[in-house]
Structure 1
Amino acid sequence: MQVSETGTEMQTTEDRPDAPQTGRRAAGEDPAKREQILDGAKRVFMEQGFEAASMNDITRAAGVSKGTIYVYFENKEDLFGYMIERERRRLTETVRHALDSHKPIGETLQEFGMLFATHITADHTIRAMRMVIAANHRLPTLCSRFFSATPINPVSVLQEYLDRQVAAGIVISDDTAHAAKQFIELTTVGLFKPRIFGSMEEVPSKAAIERNVTSAIRVFLAAYGAKP
């Protein structure tokens, strides 16, 4: 607020709530700051687990004030949920690039399956899933948020690809969403459950994942591939 020569108050551009912001983001709208907080939170959650992690720990790891964190996220549960959603979005974008309709379907599914199965059996993914399951008794909404389908996810992008293959006469299916889920499950048969429940402590080798994916493609195309 400024005062004119006559002593009356003059409202400046910065004082008006409807004035456009030039070079300054409103609180909670800086993407870089949000990513900085999520990166710090991920380090803490992966090192300490969900229950043991504190907002003070996350504050230090992210290099921001606690007040800044609460501008972007309601609480620790909200922060963890957004971290999981970010990782899922990154995986989705990665596997989406593998779904090239110009390549043979077997080659495309091989690349997609390798990327997905490698990610889902990785240490950081398994730890995150275990954290959610462990917290389910106290925070059931967090577990529901973790496993609920989002509009864009690995299943949805694979379904879009299969829809194109159906249109091209390469795949025969009247329920490509279900077919996409089946293929994804096939890529991790004998790998994911042993990993999540601890009977397979080591990350599966690339060769083991490749054998799994190759078998998944053979079964999938036997069921859904158009016959010559």
Structure 2
Amino acid sequence: MTQAAAILRTGRKFDQVLRGAREVFMADGFEGASVDDIARAAGVSKATLYSYFPDKRLLFMEVAQTECKRMAENVIAMIDDSKPAREVLTIAATQLTAFLVSEFAQQVFRICVAERDRFPELGKAFYEAGPQNGQRQMAEYLEKAVKKGELAIEDVHIAAEQFSELCKVRIWPRAAFGIQTSFEKSEIDAIALQAVDMFMARYGV
């Protein structure tokens, strides 16, 4: 990306475009989201919108990547890797489980599946910004915990994927299939704690 492009993709109007697009994508999906509606929700002209994103796919990918990055930064900010592994993993599991069943994550997942054949790059972008990025950061933490002697793991990358899957138990399928659309904090906390218990039973020292 050139310096001019980097400058273009910052500032108040750029943030307005992302907020407006997020609102419309969440309400109408990818196919139903019109440029007119996004521009109106963002409070900008269509010309301004197109100056940032000439293609609706690029705008959707930016929204998904921005939200995933924000979630990852929030988790990192809450984690103190000098704390015991169980405490660190519990924070991570609670945040991850809540995100997985959030309205945003579920809607983006549905959009990526619905558009998989026509626009496979949507799913690829979300996977890289979300699951892949999260698992990479978890693997980095697990590597540190292994070196400290708190965990015994041969393959931290597999372990990181196992951790994220444990955080999906029961509630993610219910959300994905529309069986349940909202979850109490107590439900999320219970799944997160059980995920950590299972993980520590396998890898704890």
Q: Which residue of 2 aligns with 1:122?
A: 102
Q: Which residue of 1 aligns with 2:44?
A: 64
1:59 CA displacement: 1.0
Correspondence 1:184 to 2:164: yes
Aligned equivalents of 2:87 and 2:59: distance in 1?
Answer: 38
Which of the numbers 96, 102, 118 marks the counterpart of 1:138? 118
Matches within 5 A, 1:74-89: 74-89=54-69
Residue type at the aligned position of 2:104: H
1:106 CA displacement: 1.2
Distance verdict in 2 for CA 1:222–1:34, change over 3 Å:
same
* Unaligned stretches of 5+ residues in structure 2: none
* Unaligned stretches of 5+ residues in structure 1: 1-20
Q: Which residue of 1 aligns with 2:84?
A: 104
Correspondence 1:217 to 2:196: yes
3-state secondary structure, aligned to 2:78: coil
Runs of 4 or more off by more than 4 Å in structure 1? 149-152
Q: Which residue of 2 aligns with 1:10?
A: none
Residues 21-47 of structure 1, C-alpha deviation per residue, up to 9 Å, x if partnerless?
A: 9xxx98724333221110111111112
How many percent of aligned residue pairs carry the same amino acid? 35
Distance verdict in 2 for CA 1:122–1:169, change over 3 Å:
same
Aligned equivalents of 1:29 and 1:93: distance in 2?
Answer: 20
Number of equivalenced pairs:
202
Please say if residues 65 and 129 of structure 2, whose CA atoms lie closer than 8 Å, have aligned partners that are also in contact.
no
Q: Which has the higher contact order (CA 8 A, sep 6+)?
A: 2
Distance verdict in 2 for CA 1:156–1:32, change over 3 Å:
farther
TM-score, structure 2 normalization: 0.89
Q: Which residue of 1 aligns with 2:145?
A: 165
Aligned equivalents of 2:131 and 2:155: distance in 1?
Answer: 17
Matches within 5 A, 1:13-92: 28-92=8-72
3-state secondary structure, aligned to 1:50: helix
Between 1:92-101 and 1:142-151, the stretch displaced more is: 142-151
Residue type at the aligned position of 1:217: V
1:81 CA displacement: 0.7
Aligned equivalents of 1:67 and 1:127: distance in 2?
Answer: 27
3-state secondary structure, aligned to 1:169: coil
Between 1:78-87 and 1:145-154, the stretch displaced more is: 145-154
Q: Which residue of 2 aligns with 1:207?
A: 186
Please say if residues 91 and 154 of structure 1, whose CA atoms lie closer than 8 Å, have aligned partners that are also in contact.
no
| Greater share of residues in helix | 2
**Which structure has the larger Rg over C-alpha atoms?**
1
